[in-house]
Structure 1
């Protein structure tokens, strides 16, 4: 649907829309539909008004909604008046759609909708204009509200199961969405089990706006409600919640990475529940949707592919398992196994979810959103952002408690009982022998790192040439590397920087300096990575990602586990020879990230394109680990900025549908600061070997203390990575990798769109020709000097004033 946001202008970008909210659900554990459930849901909404927002127009809310089971009795009565007889429940579906008000556009949308219903053998039983009271709307909304239409349909040959019916409806909806993406069209819900009523009204007016909700025949055994608070965003009808399977209070901080990985994953995933039509519905998640809507799309994809909704939630929002000694071995290996399937959607989150037969709530691994629940003696279950949203007699309440970090509160209406978190996870952790599978298909890098010994001899002349080629200065060594290798702690200063941003500097800056770290704002708390060590993790795996819907029986994807993103020179040698250590189940290939040393044309662009094609060719040959290396530079071939090459390859592979086939490792002389490593991880690099930094350390300490100095450097890099992740409320490197949690300051739109797609760049700046020029000029200095005369590095002048250094205010 065309969003009702202002267009991108100045410092505003509609992609940055986020919100904070109040959520809740109420259900009858015995699956007895009643009017009381609807009334309770609406009352919860009214009592969550303070968690929403009101504009200057007192009738214009940020968005509220309610999700219920399809009220068969109510629709049966309504359609009987139109001489339409509905099939049995779950043998038909109801679609709730927002259509344009414009008569011509609306008719065109209806034509497209009917076309795809017919194409997929769905019989349209009736089209119903949803009765609404527009006097409820605020003056600022009137005239901009959608036309709200319900479609009743069934299969012409109803021989499939309910899950197959849901799958067909999913495909139909996606085809319609793709064809009508430029229209003010939005499919609110299309399901044989659930229906959603939502809009930009005040929470206590939802019932008054939708006349259906006033009817006593409108009954359900469950209801999920949501009150939206657009903290720093513009409200819109389609972003009101609930979405098709859930509602969400919080923020997904790793959204950009999750979108990239999920869309790449959809290109290779296969399920017995998928028909050939699934190949034509990419992208899986549209650009520009909210974080909650994107999560709902991902959850829906897993469900359609065969996952139970509760298991899908376990994978998308896993609890902190890496350092939890209280977990059973089965549960730990369950999470370890699926960690290679899908990365966590990280950030503060309290969610309510349902598929119409099951309902539950989940909290993020840090417990950064409130969620409490209670149960009464007559089978009523309530969960909400806070207690007090329903006036329940204390004498009837048999249990009150809070949702704990990473835990799931779950009710199965078919079994008519609450299933506790431990029981639920025990069930899935014992589904297969995950430990046995991991023992056969996983190896650890630290087991092999002693296979190769590093060369103790450093050619000081070659080292100096390398340092000049990659722009090393005295400050890099004296203010950064030297203190780190002595203490294992990132050096800090007490003052802010008074130097110009890179785009305004007259010095040649590394591309890393154009990217600024984002940090948690508004309602999004950062994490203390020291005191919250239990939830933080830098572990990752290298190798191909398996089909999302495969099982341990059919999944033979081998993987190499690494402890942290920084790898040593000897560890890189292991990876270069990984075929030998993995019984040929993993293989690596190296691509030189170099370009012709010239300023006469598009050498940098041509070099990047050539690298991307080389990587693609290696992956198609079966290489599962790709090493991007700038080590073999010469006077003729200059190194491409490592960040530019890395991000370009990462995004190229996503577009080609190959990103899941291989991991990316960077062997670079350019990266030496902790910020450099974080940016590289943020743009898709899974492991980094800063060989020149290690050689510089070796030159400083000689051989006797090298191991200690090297370990201190890695220790500081790890601590810095955790600190940077925690500033955005991100807990795991798996979530952070590729998440692009950076703003570009001073890079042109053309460079961002092609090589750093999805990154915010508000002011424009250097283009590819500028980057090529700066790179060549800096690089050529390495071949202009006689390194035999104890040539010293430039002073730098970034951290302290120097005559020929950076300007300071």
Structure 2
């Protein structure tokens, strides 16, 4: 070894105590490196101090060894680094069945020392750090405590090229899209070895590990670290008036074929030569830097992470949202955000490429609402509405606020109707899916105040090879909004001459084939979509406009999920965009579901038709007092605001990060449906299969097309009572009878009145999963009383729900606290504070202090005195009560 670049070190985490596995892996490593002309200098057992580890780390620790390798004569440094990467990937592929084996690094530039240990113990664990001759140019150190994954040695940070403080909220979608893009992978850098770089995303890894895989591949494929990170975690640019036109074109270009890995992210990353740091578009993690007079750049999340003399600091600052800084150890040059971004923007003629290749739909057809010349006849409209589950309740309560104020309808909190799987009414498939939301470690964002970093834009057309850049990469149809008006979709259907041949897939099935026909049609749709993509159709429109007396609509969510995952499985998803044209999709949750399971754009045509119907019916009454075109525009604005709100609850800013991210959990959907149509979505209790879903569609279809109607009349849409109680509608927990009996008992206090209240309250059918619990008698007879906990001990576990002063009257709030203190339980103050008078016992011995105190951002009444008068603190995140 003549110089540093001639030596490479591969770090191996072998399964602890597994000599046979170690021998096999070493043999594979020798074979793989020899095949690439890389000589093994030797193996080195890494000296460690096991006393520095805790019990769990000691039990799970790997046997750690270094493999020392020599660069072949005449091989350039970057080529050597790429060959080492290919060696590691081949070893990974050939050892994928070996449990607890991992290679933290395999490089001539970088070496990873990480451990499942407290931060202060890292130096004590690795004895290499005691060597005074050990010198480095770059050091990345990350004190990370696992939040979404169980702590494990391989998941420690830093990873191979980066540290990540934060959370990637869209990681499931990012992984799926990256896997789909592998179909297009090709590069002169990798040549015939391209297959080794595929299967990049692996099950069971953390979000940070997945991001690191993507970053590493992009850098080794030829992009600079700064360029690669801009592709993966780009800044917000759409509403930034201060950036140059060249830079805007650069961002537009990368958006054409790469969706953001979205979420809070403080990132420090390196290729072994450059050290860089950047922040996510919202700046949701701190990143501070200082440069000293001896040319050292310090970057950290905390200002005091490294103690420096003020006299030595020549520059300091903090990164803003989407900003970046870099230091080049080869040239000694520091670069700041503007210089980095300007240089990236000048790499290629991005503005010319965008102007020549990208089509803006708004230049071909008006972006404004347009009332069609031919609309549904009244009877046909009512049939379509019934077939798609639109009710009078929606016409009365859901649509008017959207039409008049461009806002979603607002209802009081609490959903007391049964879960869809427990309902006796035919419910739409969307109601089986619940939205996930960001929690403490990955905070949501505010779609009202932070609208400038959010976007509902989309692009139609095929994607290209992620590893290279060509003008054709931005050959897409650009949409300002992925929620389409009908006339916009009609134009999209006829863009063949511009290189975007579309195909409409009929998402209905023959009524004569019964429930079994739906699954048959889904299989056919998969084959039709596959054939269309093979014929270079790059826009597939999933339409249920063929709904008629003879044909039943396939639930749009089922159609999009099925086709999206089928094309993913056969690695063809990136060749075409999927557009949903549905009569069933008309509210915010339904649209969010379709986007979440892979839709590129959506046209809720029956929603628009219903809006026009309501405006026409209001003519001369003045209740809505709006034109049809304005009503349609408001309706779409309400849908857009709702989608932004849902995205923001997950901390997601950009729609193409949300698309396909599957940020939902299914409740009551069977395994066969999940595996086929919603792969990867949690559905813990199982539930309905294809037949049951089809039967619910058939019930609606029969009501729509087999109901006799008098001449000139329309169908009664019915009122299922989902939002307000109706005697013939969906059952509610809090009925008039239940409330009446409750009041009777409260006033009388009689045991018989309480028993009547309980009888009425419990006689309803199951509403929630917990209602299905049945206690089975012990087969061995009663448990001996001495083995049962005393009542006083059991009561300590009782807590009241957090209800703040204001939501409850002062008397009720105080009474709950006294009651729980009397029985030894815990009352929760809620977020509204508490009168300090209650912190001391009353003269009669009662104590009105709440055991649990809640803290919420922006709330009043939280003081040091309030906090010390708590036995337990509950921190409430993102409830949005105050700015």
In the other structure, the counterpart of 1:670 is 584
| TM-superposed deviation, 1:750 | 2.5
Q: Helix, strand or coil for the counterpart of 1:244?
A: coil
In the other structure, the counterpart of 2:200 is 284
Query: Are 2:73 and 1:166 aligned?
Result: no
Measured against aligned partners, the alpha-carbon deviations of 1:603-627 in whole angstroms (never above 9, x if no partner) come to 3322112111111111111111111
Measured against aligned partners, the alpha-carbon deviations of 1:225-257 in whole angstroms (never above 9, x if no partner) come to 011122354211010000000000000001011
| Unaligned ranges ≥5, structure 2 | 620-625, 734-883
Distance 1:763-1:487 versus aligned 2 partners, 3 A rule:
same
Contact 1:231 1:522 survives alignment (8 Å): no
| TM-superposed deviation, 1:261 | 0.9
| Unaligned ranges ≥5, structure 1 | 1-85
| TM-superposed deviation, 1:368 | 0.5
Query: Are 2:554 and 1:640 aligned?
Result: yes
Q: Out of 17, 35, 38, which is 1:122 matched to?
A: 38
Contact 1:558 1:586 survives alignment (8 Å): no
Q: Distance in 1 between matches of 2:456 and 2:515?
A: 41
Q: Distance in 1 between matches of 2:662 and 2:640?
A: 18
Q: Distance in 1 between matches of 2:435 and 2:297?
A: 43
Measured against aligned partners, the alpha-carbon deviations of 1:434-485 in whole angstroms (never above 9, x if no partner) come to 1111111112222233498722443111111111111111112111112211
In the superposition, the TM-score normalised over structure 2's length comes to 0.79
Measured against aligned partners, the alpha-carbon deviations of 1:345-395 in whole angstroms (never above 9, x if no partner) come to 110000110011000110111111111111111112111111112221111
| TM-superposed deviation, 1:569 | 1.0
| TM-superposed deviation, 1:598 | 5.5
Q: Distance in 2 between matches of 1:552 and 1:599?
A: 49
Q: Out of 743, 755, 761, which is 2:683 matched to?
A: 761
In the other structure, the counterpart of 1:530 is 448
Q: Out of 93, 114, 127, which is 1:211 matched to?
A: 127
Q: Distance in 2 between matches of 1:441 and 1:515?
A: 39
Q: Helix, strand or coil for the counterpart of 1:242?
A: coil
In the other structure, the counterpart of 2:396 is 478
In the other structure, the counterpart of 1:490 is 408
Q: Distance in 1 between matches of 2:708 and 2:223?
A: 65
From the two aligned structures, give the one with the greater strand fraction: 1
In the other structure, the counterpart of 1:447 is 363
Q: Distance in 1 between matches of 2:209 and 2:545?
A: 43
Task: Indicate the structure whose relative CO is greater, using CA pairs within 8 Å and at least 6 residues apart.
Answer: 1
Q: Distance in 1 between matches of 2:420 and 2:94?
A: 43
Measured against aligned partners, the alpha-carbon deviations of 1:626-676 in whole angstroms (never above 9, x if no partner) come to 111111133443221111110111111122221111111011011111111
Q: Helix, strand or coil for the counterpart of 2:688?
A: coil
Contact 1:674 1:721 survives alignment (8 Å): yes
Q: Distance in 2 between matches of 1:225 and 1:698?
A: 60
Q: Distance in 2 between matches of 1:557 and 1:369?
A: 31
Contact 2:515 2:694 survives alignment (8 Å): no
Q: Helix, strand or coil for the counterpart of 2:283?
A: coil
In the other structure, the counterpart of 2:315 is 399
Query: Are 2:109 and 1:193 aligned?
Result: yes
Q: Out of 520, 529, 537, which is 1:623 matched to?
A: 537
In the other structure, the counterpart of 1:750 is 672
| TM-superposed deviation, 1:306 | 1.2
| TM-superposed deviation, 1:504 | 1.4
Distance 1:87-1:766 versus aligned 2 partners, 3 A rule:
farther
Query: Are 2:424 and 1:509 aligned?
Result: no
Q: Distance in 1 between matches of 2:523 and 2:188?
A: 37
In the other structure, the counterpart of 1:46 is none
Q: Out of 123, 129, 145, which is 1:229 matched to?
A: 145
Query: Are 2:550 and 1:656 aligned?
Result: no
In the other structure, the counterpart of 2:517 is 603
Contact 2:162 2:267 survives alignment (8 Å): yes
Q: Distance in 2 between matches of 1:600 and 1:333?
A: 52
| TM-superposed deviation, 1:601 | 7.0
Q: Distance in 2 between matches of 1:557 and 1:328?
A: 19
Contact 2:279 2:321 survives alignment (8 Å): yes
| TM-superposed deviation, 1:103 | 2.1
Distance 1:158-1:624 versus aligned 2 partners, 3 A rule:
farther
Q: Out of 214, 237, 245, which is 1:298 matched to?
A: 214
Q: Out of 622, 640, 646, which is 1:718 matched to?
A: 640
Contact 1:545 1:660 survives alignment (8 Å): yes
**Aligned pairs, number:** 719
| TM-superposed deviation, 1:99 | 0.8
In the other structure, the counterpart of 2:803 is none
In the other structure, the counterpart of 1:563 is 480
In the superposition, the TM-score normalised over structure 1's length comes to 0.86
Moved more, 707-716 or 732-741: 732-741
Q: Distance in 2 between matches of 1:319 and 1:403?
A: 12
In the other structure, the counterpart of 1:94 is 9
Q: Helix, strand or coil for the counterpart of 1:311?
A: helix
Contact 1:517 1:741 survives alignment (8 Å): yes
Distance 1:579-1:611 versus aligned 2 partners, 3 A rule:
same
| TM-superposed deviation, 1:116 | 2.3
Contact 1:664 1:687 survives alignment (8 Å): yes
| TM-superposed deviation, 1:599 | 6.7
Measured against aligned partners, the alpha-carbon deviations of 1:305-345 in whole angstroms (never above 9, x if no partner) come to 21111110111111110100000111111101111121111
Measured against aligned partners, the alpha-carbon deviations of 1:683-733 in whole angstroms (never above 9, x if no partner) come to 110110111111111222139821011001001011111111111111111
Q: Distance in 1 between matches of 2:75 and 2:517?
A: 57
| TM-superposed deviation, 1:270 | 1.9
Q: Distance in 1 between matches of 2:155 and 2:207?
A: 10
Q: Out of 582, 585, 602, which is 1:688 matched to?
A: 602
Q: Helix, strand or coil for the counterpart of 1:676?
A: helix
Q: Helix, strand or coil for the counterpart of 1:223?
A: coil
Distance 1:719-1:636 versus aligned 2 partners, 3 A rule:
same
Q: Root-mean-square deviation (CA), in Å?
A: 1.8
In the other structure, the counterpart of 2:717 is 793
Q: Distance in 2 between matches of 1:142 and 1:577?
A: 64
In the other structure, the counterpart of 1:589 is 503
Q: Out of 584, 609, 628, which is 1:706 matched to?
A: 628
Query: Are 2:698 and 1:776 aligned?
Result: yes
Distance 1:118-1:771 versus aligned 2 partners, 3 A rule:
farther
Query: Are 2:662 and 1:740 aligned?
Result: yes
Q: Helix, strand or coil for the counterpart of 1:128?
A: strand
Q: Distance in 2 between matches of 1:565 and 1:528?
A: 21
Q: Distance in 1 between matches of 2:221 and 2:501?
A: 30
Q: Helix, strand or coil for the counterpart of 1:411?
A: strand
Measured against aligned partners, the alpha-carbon deviations of 1:518-543 in whole angstroms (never above 9, x if no partner) come to 11102221111111111111111111
| TM-superposed deviation, 1:678 | 0.9
In the other structure, the counterpart of 2:19 is 103
